[in-house]
Amino acid sequence: MATHQASKAFDTDWNYSPRASTLVGAFTAVAVFGWLVSTFLSGIHFWAIPQIPAGAEISGSLEVITSQWAYVGPIPLATLGAFYYLTTILLAAWWLDTRHPLIIKILTPITASGVLASAYFVYLQLGVIGAICPFCMMSAAASVVLFGLELTLLRSSEMPELSEMTGDISGLIGQTSFARLALIGAMGLMTMVAFYGATLAPVPT
């Protein structure tokens, strides 16, 4: 007998892995780690890099995070990474709140894109720039682990058809505690904004 762990009784039988909660808990912990690493690296972009004298010789990890590939326009890749990890944290929290299988399906392309982006950035470090940023490599490792945990949950569970799950979006919304998700998102965003805002504060001389 299928164990329907969301309020919607889909037409097909489905069942989560017995380790579902453990896997999502581990997923959340890794996502938080990735977010912390990316936020810290964003702080280096905001605080440390502007203090480097013009024309100074740089090497090692600084060579990576000051390269032309470390930014999308004016935005550091690390900051985009922090938004990526915050998104995965929110989705994991959403699943823990509702246990709806559609969220697992939503996570799959997101974590897959994280692995592809990380693979490209690792290639740039090793094959183009010729230097390694340890924090960038930790972030890359976190993205791979997230994808692995997501695939493990997906493959060890029996999921309804996607068409059935998208037909239950109203049911998913009805189960969701938006105030809780908003609080988590606001805390993550405020931390990132504070890292940047500190650079704008007047410093006594």
pLDDT of residue 138 exceeding 90: yes
4 assigned to some structural domain: no
Residue 40 belongs to a domain:
yes
Instruction: List the one residue out of 103, 136, 102 whose CA is nearest residue 119.
Output: 136
Round to whole Å and give the CA distance between 60 and 42: 17
For 22, phi and psi rounded to 5 degrees?
-65, -45
**Inside any domain, residue 163:** yes
- Give per-residue pLDDT as tens, 139-161: 999 999 999 999 999 999 988 88
pLDDT digits (tens, 9 = 90+) for 59-83: 778 889 888 999 998 889 999 999 9
93, part of any domain: yes
Domain that holds residue 129: 20-48+57-196
Q: Which two tokens stand for residue 131?
A: 């230097």
Task: Please report which confidence band the pLDDT of residue 3 belongs to, taking 50, 70 and 90 as the band edges.
Answer: very low
pLDDT above 70 for 181: yes
**pLDDT score of 92 more than 60:** yes
DSSP state at residue 150: H
Is there a domain that residue 2 lies in?
no
E strands, the chain, in order: 71-72, 75-76
Q: Is residue 8 part of a domain?
A: no
**Residue 67 amino acid letter:** S
Token pair, residue 6, equals 């969301």
Domain count of the fold of the chain = 1
Closest of 199, 200, 195 to residue 78, by C-alpha: 195
On the question of pLDDT at 108 being above 70, the answer is yes
The CATH number that applies at residue 92 is: 1.20.1440.130
8 A C-beta contact, residue 107 and residue 91: yes
Residue 2: predicted pLDDT: 39
50: pLDDT confidence band, cut at 50, 70 and 90? confident
Tens digits of residue pLDDT in 32-46: 999 999 999 998 888
d(CA 172, CA 86): 20
| Sign of the CA dihedral running 15, 89, 145, 120 | positive
In a domain, 201, yes or no: no
5 part of a folded domain:
no
Cα–Cα distance measured from residue 117 to residue 120, given in angstroms and rounded to the nearest whole number: 5
